Structure 1
Amino acid sequence: MKTIAFAAAIAAVIPAMASPSLAGPIERACMDSDRGANRALCGCIQQAADMTLSGGDQRRAAKFFKDPEAAHSTWISQSRSDDAFWERYKSFGQTAEAYCAG
């Protein structure tokens, strides 16, 4: 019985140690981008995203790293949903700048 409990405890800890596989969508997009980002900065930006954006918003925002035109299209869009997303995205950007600068 102790072996099963120990194995369960180890299984719960190991995923937390495997950081690259647990990177969020923003961190992965940041690391894959050609903007010279590093793991510490991309991880910090992901933390800001975790504080300000839902999972769906993070996946949508992550696409902007590869397709900046998608960000522009969202910004100029007249739809209410795009406007609401853009407000959340701006909040994320301000949070990331304040949280990760320095």
Structure 2
Amino acid sequence: MNRIVIATAAIFLTTPLAMAGPVDNACIRSERGAGQQALCRCVQQVADQTLSRSDQRLAASFFRDPHRAQVVRMSKRDSDNAFWSRYKRFAGAAEAYCR
């Protein structure tokens, strides 16, 4: 049993991820993310733990259109306010974890 766990962990830790997430892709394509693959990958890992896939797509859109973040932040819609609360938690966690 232990050998199976060790073999599985070794495969997982040495196999590159085949698919990057939406935040990682947007980060790498952004001006600040160019050449920062490790940072972008870290931010995606935090996004995977804290945001739904649809939240990740919306957050990724902020890389392409920063004004959209301001529109969502200032929105009076309950769904946008709920998203912004989740996004702030994600951003704080990413800042702390991905230094």
TM-score, normalized by the shorter chain, greater than 0.5:
yes
Letter matched to residue 52 of structure 1: T
Q: 1:9-56 CA distances to partner (integer Å, 9 max, x unpaired)?
A: xxxx8xx9453x500000000000011441100000000101110000
Which residue number corresponds to residue 27 of structure 1? 24
| Correspondent of 1:63 among 41, 61, 64 | 61
* Structure 1 unaligned regions, length at least 5: 1-12
| Correspondent of 2:91 among 90, 93, 96 | 93
Greater per-residue helix proportion: 1
Letter matched to residue 66 of structure 1: R
Which residue number corresponds to residue 79 of structure 2? 81
Secondary structure of 1:50's partner? helix
Structure 1 length normalisation: TM-score? 0.78
Which residue number corresponds to residue 37 of structure 2? 39
Q: CA RMSD in A?
A: 1.6
Q: 1:63-94 CA distances to partner (integer Å, 9 max, x unpaired)?
A: 00010000000000011000000000000000
Aligned length: 86
* Structure 2 unaligned regions, length at least 5: 1-10
Letter matched to residue 26 of structure 1: V
Structure 1 residue ranges, 4+ long, deviating more than 4 angstroms after superposition: none
